Structure 1
Amino acid sequence: METKTKESPITQRTLDLCQAIVDQSDFQALKQKIDDFMNNELLKFDYQQLNGLGDLLRMKQGQGLELKPEEIAQFETLREKFMNDPVAQGFLDAQDQLAQLHETVSRFLNKTFELGRRPEYEDVHDGSCGNCNCH
């Protein structure tokens, strides 16, 4: 099955799917939120600091080392500052929504390979909403 040429049906349909995604107004709004974050160097630095400290604390905890109260307080201060920024909130929301979109597309593709046919909506969505395990 040829997929490496521009003219292949798979490539063309994949490009059509990509275009359908970017044509959604919601997608453009999500992309803008990510761009707003990526253009803010200070906010990106804060995010890296927060993630780095979080990784360090998880590593220490995983090794059975005691976390110092000032380390926890520093993490909470960084986290609160970051989470209170509207651009940061928009970025995290956009990341979450794009991850859900990616998961949905992946579920349909995986189900196609599993079934050997185009899946129906019900094949992919088994009655649960997929987000909260409420069903």
Structure 2
Amino acid sequence: MSIVAEDSQVISKTKELCAQIVSDPTFLKLQAQVERFLGDDAARLQYQSVHERGEELHHKQHAGIELGAVEIREFEAARDALFANEIARDFLTAQRELEGLQKEIGKYVSSTIENGRVPTADDLVESGGGCCGGHGGGGCGC
């Protein structure tokens, strides 16, 4: 039987982990914050506008074009207004925490597969936790 077969112990335990995640009160709160944001057109448009403007400014700067004081102030004002919007702010916090959860679980799994054992705290610090395990390989663009 394959280690990734639907009825393997590895997949069974993975499903248990998934069930634990989706029943965790903190996860449920974060998920609700994301859903609240997705259901609020004004907050989504505000976020999209700030995000797109930030990308524009980044590309200009990366191309060697000096940013004007006015466009920087306008962007900062729009960003401050976004952070003042409770729905958008909660979404950004939830997004950051959910990405952190995904990254942390990935570090454990990657380290386990790379080292052939359950990782210790030292293993996780040493590996850097990236897709390359901190070793610069792995074909993920590191």
TM-score range, shorter chain: 0.7 to 0.9
Structure 1: runs of 5+ lacking an equivalent: 127-135
3-state DSSP class of the match of 2:66? coil
Paired residue for 2:9?
Answer: 9
The number of residue pairs the alignment matches comes to: 125
1:15-94 alignment runs, 5 A limit: 15-94=15-94
For 1:17, the aligned partner's letter is L
Partners of 1:67 and 1:124 lie apart in 2 by 40
3-state DSSP class of the match of 2:118? coil
Partners of 1:121 and 1:67 lie apart in 2 by 44
Judged with a 3 Å threshold, the aligned counterparts in structure 2 of structure 1 residues 64 and 120 are, in CA distance, closer, same or farther, namely closer
TM-superposed deviation, 1:108: 0.6
1:107-126 alignment runs, 5 A limit: 107-124=107-124
Partners of 1:16 and 1:121 lie apart in 2 by 23
TM-superposed deviation, 1:125: 5.2
Structure 2: runs of 5+ lacking an equivalent: 127-142
Judged with a 3 Å threshold, the aligned counterparts in structure 2 of structure 1 residues 61 and 125 are, in CA distance, closer, same or farther, namely closer
Partners of 1:125 and 1:69 lie apart in 2 by 41
**TM-score normalised by the chain length of structure 2:** 0.80
Partners of 2:120 and 2:62 lie apart in 1 by 43
**TM-score normalised by the chain length of structure 1:** 0.83
3-state DSSP class of the match of 1:90? helix
For 1:11, the aligned partner's letter is I
For 1:92, the aligned partner's letter is L
CA RMSD of aligned residues (A): 1.6
Moved over 3 A (4+): 120-123
Identical pairs, percent? 29
TM-superposed deviation, 1:44: 0.7
TM-superposed deviation, 1:41: 0.9
| 1:29-86: CA deviation from partner (whole Å, max 9, x where unpaired) | 0111111111111111111111111011011111111212332122112101100011
